[in-house]
Amino acid sequence: MKNILFILFCAFLFSSCEKEIDLQLDDKSGTIVIEGNITDQQGPYYVRITRSVAFTEDNQYPAITDAVVTISDNTGQSETLQYEGDGRYKTSSLVSSPGNTYTLNVLIDGVNYSAQSTMPSPVTLDGLIQDSITIAGETTYNILPVYTDPSFLGNRYLFILTIDGKTDKTLQVFSDNINNGMVNQRTIMPSLDDDDEIVPGDIINVEMQCIDQNIYTYYSALIQISGGGGPGGSVTPANPPSNINNGALGYFSAHTTASKSMVIQ
């Protein structure tokens, strides 16, 4: 929303100028990063463990290869994951089910990182509808995911947009704090980068995840810090509040997933 305001305003009044600059940034990297997902689809499920690197380095993230990774749930299942490569650990027997609470434990160099997540009930994604707005002669396409929010409160959604097989940078989260129990009215806007723009003929895929409240808070914060500048700068950035303890970055999410595709007309 703010981005649109800002772009509008700039387009009208100013020609702002942008350039690359060189900054002396502190390096406090080397932190454990855990990315764990369990879905309502059949396994295997993966947990990826890497370390963060300095800003000035290349985007090569050292994999943690010797962690002891276990996932258990409230029905008594428990499994130690097998290392597969590229920091990825894989389940082999774990069976997931909505409503269950999963516990992740990761032991690295004597430090235990743990997290919990509860898989919500699935919500059906009925379809996608395209919508467009025209700003300054340029048409931007938005996608309306069609689904009916369940009548009970507390549903949280994460949307991931893929344009011609390329995942869009902009993630979006919705809550039922508005329009509880109603058919969804909110569209998903792709990121404003020129090269990620949707044009007619593009194949759009939308993945809808039903996530728990902690993961919703995590993604809300992640979206806020990865958004553009906005007038005068956006929120003061900080690491998103992770559901993993002991200072690890990342998240552990048990969620349901549903996808739909369409071709932009």
Partner 1 sequence: MKTFLIRHFALAAMLFSSAVAMAQKYTISGTIKDKNNGEFMIGAAVQIAENPAAGAITNEYGFYSLSMPEGEYTILCSYAGFDQQQKSVTLNKNIRLDWLLDTPRTNALDEVVVGSVKKDKNLSQAQMGIETLNIKKIEKLPVLFGEKDVMKTIQLLPGIKSNGEGSSGFSVRGGAADQNLILLDEAPVYNASHLLGFFSTFNSDALKDASIIKGNSPSQYGGRLSSVMDVKMKDGNNQDYNVTGGIGLISSRLSVEGPIQKDKSSFIISGRRTYADLFLRGSEDFKDSKLYFYDLNIKANYQINSNNRIYLSGYFGRDVLGLGSTFGTDWGNTTATLRWNSILSRQLFSNTSLIYSNYDYKLNFESAGSNLGLNSQIKDYNLKQDFSWFASSKHSLRFGLQSIYHGITPSKSSGTSVDSYPKKTRYSWENALYINDDFKASEQLTLNYGLRLSAFTIIGGDTYNIYQNGELTGSRDLEKGTLGKTYLNLEPRLTANYRIDELSSVKAGYSRNTQNLHLLSNSSSGSPSDQWIGSSYTVKPEIADQFSVGYSRNFSDNNYEINTEVYYKDMQNQIDYKNGAEITFDAGKDVESELLFGKGRAYGVELIAKKKSGKLTGWVSYTLSKTERKIDGINNDKWYNTRLDKTHDLSVVATYTLNPKWSLSGLFVYSTGNAVTFPTGKYELNGQTVFQYSSRNADRMPDYHRMDLSATYEPNKKKRFHGSWTFGLYNVYGRENAYTITFEDNPDKPGTTRAMQTSLFRWVPNVTYNFKF
Q: Which residues in the 107-136 window bind partner 1 by CB under 8 A?
A: 129, 131, 133-136
| Region 219-238 residues binding partner 1, contact defined as CB under 8 A | 220-222, 224-226, 228-238
Q: Which of 36, 45, 50, 104 binds partner 1 (CB under 8 A)?
A: 50
- How does DSSP classify residue 43? S
Q: Which of 27, 95, 121, 139 binds partner 1 (CB under 8 A)?
A: 27
Q: Which of 39, 44, 51, 162 binds partner 1 (CB under 8 A)?
A: 51
Q: Which of 26, 42, 110, 165 binds partner 1 (CB under 8 A)?
A: 26
- Give the amino acid at 164: D
Stretch that binds partner 1, among 9-17, 73-81, 97-105, 118-126 (CB under 8 A): 9-17
- Report d(CA 239, CA 259) in Å as an integer: 29
Task: State both tokens at 9.
Answer: 């305003």
CB neighbours of residue 147 within 10 Å: 20
- How does DSSP classify residue 119? P
Min CB(174)–partner 1 separation in Å: 7
With contact defined as beta carbons under 8 Å apart, do 239 and 113 qualify?
no
| Region 52-71 residues binding partner 1, contact defined as CB under 8 A | 52-55, 58-61
In sequence order, which residues have a C-beta less than 8 Å from that of residue 108 and are 6 or more positions away?
32, 49, 64, 66, 67, 68
Q: Return the number of the residue (102 or 174) whose C-beta is nearest partner 1.
A: 174
Q: Return the number of the residue (22 or 109) whose C-beta is nearest partner 1.
A: 22
Is residue 260 close enough to count as binding partner 1 by CB under 8 A? no
Task: State both tokens at 199.
Answer: 């044009």
Q: Return the number of the residue (72 or 187) whose C-beta is nearest partner 1.
A: 187
- Report d(CA 121, CA 123) in Å as an integer: 7
